[in-house]
Amino acid sequence: MQDLLFGFISKYISLTEDEKNAIVSLDIFRSFKKGTTLLGEGQKSKDSYFVLKGCIRVYYIIDGEEKTTAFYTEMDALTPHCVINNTPSGYFISCVENSLLLISNADMETEVNNKFPKFDTMCKLFSAELLVKQQMDFDEFKTSSPEQRYLNLLQKRPDLIQRVPQHQLASYLGIKPQSLSRLRARILEKKS
């Protein structure tokens, strides 16, 4: 299972066996059952997550309604706002599936960075990449209709459509579940 992690890291930096062992010895792998809430609205936390297996979801509750804004699957990393600006979280994070996560916090990161300076290099590269990806996602969302967004998702993350409940997916696309059903029927009709 750790191979997943080291495969991911190798995209940015190369690690010696010693370094790998040091990381493993941190004992930061945790598994959670489907439905587990990792972070609640209003809570503070110092933890960041890296998904090794499974799927986690970020959602708000606005007027009693869930609004899903993000799904994180294998090899995705999530650092909640509250970690960065030390304020109560505005949203919930929960497991869509049974998931194996890597959980890190600032203390642990500085410790690793001190031992292995190149780790800091990786973090910088990774966060720059993340910023760009996030910006591109935002732009894509803004510049397309719900139907286009759905078709895009079908291309880019086809797995999500299978593994995530439709009503969460609808919310993620910015529409109601009924509209997603209709939209899908419309697309099927066009094809034929």
Partner DNA sequence: TAAAAACGTTCACTTAAGTTAAGAAAAACG
Partner DNA sequence: CGTTTTTCTTAACTTAAGTGAACGTTTTTA
Instruction: Name the residues that contact its own copies, by CB under 8 A.
Output: 60, 62, 67, 69, 81, 84-85, 90-91, 127-132, 134-139, 141-143, 174
Residue burial 3-40, b: 16+ Cβ < 10 Å; e: rest: ebbeebbeebbebeeebeebbeeeebeeebeeeeebbe
When the beta carbons of 14 and 143 are compared against its own copies, the nearer one is: 143
Site for DNA in 4-43 (CB under 7 A): 34
Closest CA to 4 of 58, 54, 71: 54
Beta bridge partners of 153: none
Closest CA to 164 of 70, 33, 80, 37: 70
Number of residues that bind DNA (CB under 7 A): 21
Q: Least distance in Å: CB of 57 to DNA?
A: 11
The pattern of x and - marking residues 118 through 157 that bind DNA according to CB under 7 A reads ---------------------------xxx----------
Binding of residue 178 to DNA (CB under 7 A)? yes
50 in helix, strand or coil? Answer: strand
- Asked if residues 169 and 160 have their Cβ atoms less than 8 Å apart, the reply is yes
Q: Residue 91's binding partner, choosing from its own copies, DNA, none, with beta-carbon cut-off 5 to 8 A by kind?
A: its own copies
- Asked if residues 93 and 54 have their Cβ atoms less than 8 Å apart, the reply is no
Q: Residue 113's binding partner, choosing from DNA, its own copies, none, with beta-carbon cut-off 5 to 8 A by kind?
A: none
Residue ranges that bind DNA, judged by CB under 7 A: 34, 145-147, 165-168, 174-186
